Amino acid sequence: MTLLQVRDLHVEFRTRDGVARAVNGVSWSVEAGETLAVLGESGSGKSVTAQAVMGILDVPPGRITGGQILFEGRDLLTLPDEERRRIRGARM
């Protein structure tokens, strides 16, 4: 069973100098009982991806501009904030 799936995730930050695309089309999945290691250079988007998945991205200036984050088949990006907080606090 797929526990967590990220599909074509895009995250950007608006700055006074323009738009910085921090995550550009990331996709991965984790099955129940698996562990995922995310490796990359400094500034490659690892932390921003994790913040987006957990729902703790600083908005603004950051914002998710595309993709899906599915937890147990439910798209977290479509849930009301309070429901997402309950899932994050109790189950993630």
Q: pLDDT 10s per residue in the chain (92 long)?
A: 899 999 999 999 999 999 999 999 999 999 999 999 999 999 999 999 999 999 999 888 999 999 999 999 999 999 998 898 888 877 77
Return d(Cα 68, Cα 23) in angstroms, integer. Answer: 13
Return d(Cα 4, Cα 13) in angstroms, integer. Answer: 24
The pTM is what?
A: 0.88
Query: Which residues touch 54 (CB under 8 Å, ≥6 apart)?
Result: 88, 92
Where in the chain are the domains? 2-90
Class of domain 2-90: alpha beta
Q: What is the pLDDT of residues 30-52, one digit of tens each?
A: 999 999 999 999 999 999 999 99
